[in-house]
Structure 1
Amino acid sequence: MSGHQLKINDQLEFMVSDRNTYRGAYQSQVRAITDEVLFLDVPRNKERIMIINTNEQLEFYRVTETTIWRYRGTVMTQGVSSRLMKIKQPLHIDKIQRRNFFRVPVNILTKFARADETKPMGEWEWEETRVRDLSGGGLCLINKTPLKAGLQLVIDLPLNQETLQLWGEVKRVGMECDDEGLFYVSGVEFLDIFPSDQDLVVQYVFAKQRSLLRKGNTPGGEEGTLNS
């Protein structure tokens, strides 16, 4: 495995999606490397510092033109005053396929139809939905009514100036609640997606992710349109 070694001044990226307080895109940089310790800038999102506990397991990424490298290690100390974080060596390193890796938060209003073998496709009933996050391999839908795992569906996915019509299968369903009440969260995996369509999805995802990291913004959303 070549190209995985970190170097001083390498730019690193942190995508935090499972912590409410620190959810967002963060950036860091390699400052020093020894056989025992990796020294990084404390990850930042604009002026916000990502606080990490000692002995916590941490993941971060280095994106090149051809590859994404994922690094996993244990935090030894994080000194806010010194603005450096120490991570224990050696790191666990993975090479990630660019096509399916990044899942970015979005806020795309659109519609889907449940596959119904008893009716022609033109008679399927379309329902409004919202895409909450997106990757090259699938997406997350937000609905007021539950979907069943195993359900196959077709969904309109507006990306910039083009709308893709994609097939998918519901793999998991959960239930959440916010100020507006109860809603259902469905993880959908794309089925038999054309490579050209997947390329468009991946390009959109990477453009979104790179824009968030460049601006240092917390991932938000980009609202699409409800097409007829």
Structure 2
Amino acid sequence: MPEEIIEKINNLNEFYKPGTKIDVFLILRSVGKEDLDGPYASLISFLDNNEVLWIETPMKQGYPLILTSGDLVLINIKKGKIIYQFQGLILERKREPNTNLFLFALNAAKEVKKIERRQFFRLPVVLDVKLTIKKDIKDKDSINFKGKTKDLSGGGVKVVFKLSDYKEIIKLIKEENLVFIEFEIDKKKKINQKIKFVNSYTDNESKIGFISFCFENIPRGVQDSIIRFLFAKQREMKQKGIEFND
């Protein structure tokens, strides 16, 4: 993994500008333990006296995350190709006027972890994959396709399909179905992950199509497993004298 970069925030008012989109992860409830849950989408409401950051009620698929004093959360602020990240304890909450939603307060971090998205370098690895497409998460009926990875990263994957399957997949994706991918790493460790379409292109001469996906709401442990696998493969390729662009 790349070294963590800690960056000092020089202008808090500019950094925590009202309306900025953020992702909120619940790390630990003040009463009892709870697994990492998220991300929940939220917005910065305002910065109070350069000290206390107020955020709007985090939401996920229409459901609110109601926090209480002492809950530990992880905040991601995306700015271009960089994610700024920090943890904080919820200090208090207050109801938003004329709504059933709340504003939540936590100390505004003056130093944040800076994560460049290039840390998710893509490595050319070939793995068998199964793509599953269904209308609803609870739907027992699904359509499955087989393909092979062209490259893989901690943030997404590019998959090669025969041209007939490629055309059918693109059609189904445009109908806003749910898409899942399954493949194996690290001596048959199985990854089964929801993915989201990014882009695609075809090679008509070879009669194949390429589709790039990003992993959607991937658990940190799963992402770390993929990255460890890729670093091991990278070392193996370098030992064999194989050149590649990361």
Give the structure-1-normalised TM-score.
Answer: 0.49
